[in-house]
Amino acid sequence: MAIRKIIIYPNEILEKECKEVTKFDRKLGIILDDMYDTMIKYDGVGLAAPQIGLDLQIAVVDIEDESGTIEMINPKILETSGSQTGPEGCLSFPDVFGEVTRPFYVKIEALNRRGKRFTFEAEDFLARAIQHEIDHLHGILFTSKVSRYLEVEELEG
């Protein structure tokens, strides 16, 4: 397990379509473990592979709720509904926060680290985090969806 270096915007890997994972080997497990360690170390609630310099469709999310850590490989959004607007940030954009509107509910399909397919449903902040990370895998950054940038004081207030 190791802490990886986080790629800070601007960097072309952050705006690329990532490749689908085809090998479910020990190396993939190490990448996922390192992504988890890196996310925790930098106090994130999610991390996508391009943020550690890998153009692969791998993301982890953990908002410290009862869902635990969600590992998503080649994830696809099957369904969304509703709407939520709230503050968002990103480990690739230190000290940048903005209001983003996203669906309130999301249903995804993805593969786990053993290559087994699963579906997962989430609402509210967990749905937001999942959608933010899946966007990363398609080179979409949250800043392209910000309706209003926030000052740090507004977040703490």
Question: Which among 13-21, 52-60, 82-90, 110-118 is the span making contact with Co ion, rule CB under 5 A?
Answer: 82-90
CA pair distance 110, 119, nearest whole angstrom:
6
Quote the least distance from Cβ 105 to Co ion, whole Å.
20
Q: Is 133 a catalytic residue?
A: yes
**Which residue minimizes CB distance to Co ion?**
90
- Looking at the Cβ atoms of 58 and 90, the one nearer to Co ion is 90
Closest to 69 in 3D by CA, of 57, 80, 61, 59 = 61
Quote the least distance from Cβ 21 to Co ion, whole Å.
19
Closest to 52 in 3D by CA, of 68, 65, 78, 33 = 33
Q: Is 90 one of the binding residues for Co ion (CB under 5 A)?
A: yes
Q: Is 137 one of the binding residues for Co ion (CB under 5 A)?
A: no
Q: Is 134 one of the binding residues for Co ion (CB under 5 A)?
A: no
Residue 40: Cβ-neighbour burial (10 angstroms; 0-12, 13-18, 19+): middle
Give the count of residues interacting with Co ion (CB under 5 A).
1
Q: Is 32 one of the binding residues for Co ion (CB under 5 A)?
A: no
Binding residues vs Co ion (CB under 5 A): 90
Enzyme catalytic residues: 133
